[in-house]
C-alpha cells in the first residue's frame, strides 16, 4: 500500500482497483494487482481483462508504428519482396483452403 497518496510520482505508478466492498485499494506490484483482481466478481474481472486487452493492443500498435517509422522492419519487407519476386511464396487462399 502507498503510505503517501499525495506523492504524485508514486501515485502515477499505481493502479486503483475496486475491491468487493467497493472501496478503492491502491496497488503497485504485479502480485498486488493479481491479488486485487482475484477479489473481484467475475463480471468485473472480465471488464479488467477487456481493458487490459485494449491497452496492450494500443501499446503494440504504437510500437509497430514506431518500428515502421524508424525503418526497423525494412529488412523484413525487402526479404518478403525478394521472396515474392523469386516465387517462394503461395497465395494466402491456397494456404487457408
CA distance 16 to 28: 9
**Residue range 1-12: mean pLDDT, rounded:** 40
Question: What local confidence, expressed as pLDDT, does residue 35 receive?
Answer: 93
Residues 6+ apart with CB under 8 A from 35: 27
Cell numbers for 63: 510500437
The residue written with cell numbers 526479404 in the block is 79
The domains of the chain are located at 1-40, 41-87
Work out the angle at residue 56's Cα, subtended by the Cα atoms of residues 53 and 57, and round it to the nearest 5 degrees. 80
Whether the per-residue pLDDT at 56 is higher than 70: the answer is: yes
DSSP secondary-structure letter at 41?
-
- pLDDT band, residue 8 (cuts 50/70/90): very low
Amino acid at each position: 500500500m502507498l503510505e503517501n497518496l499525495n506523492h504524485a510520482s508514486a501515485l502515477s505508478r499505481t493502479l486503483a482497483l475496486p475491491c468487493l466492498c467497493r472501496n478503492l485499494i491502491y496497488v503497485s506490484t504485479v502480485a498486488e494487482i493479481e491479488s486485487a483482481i482475484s477479489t473481484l466478481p467475475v463480471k468485473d474481472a472480465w471488464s479488467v481483462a477487456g481493458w487490459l486487452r485494449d491497452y496492450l493492443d494500443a501499446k503494440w500498435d504504437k510500437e509497430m508504428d514506431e518500428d515502421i517509422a524508424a525503418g526497423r522492419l525494412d529488412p523484413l519487407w525487402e526479404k518478403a519482396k525478394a521472396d515474392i519476386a523469386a516465387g517462394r511464396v503461395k497465395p494466402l487462399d491456397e494456404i487457408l483452403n
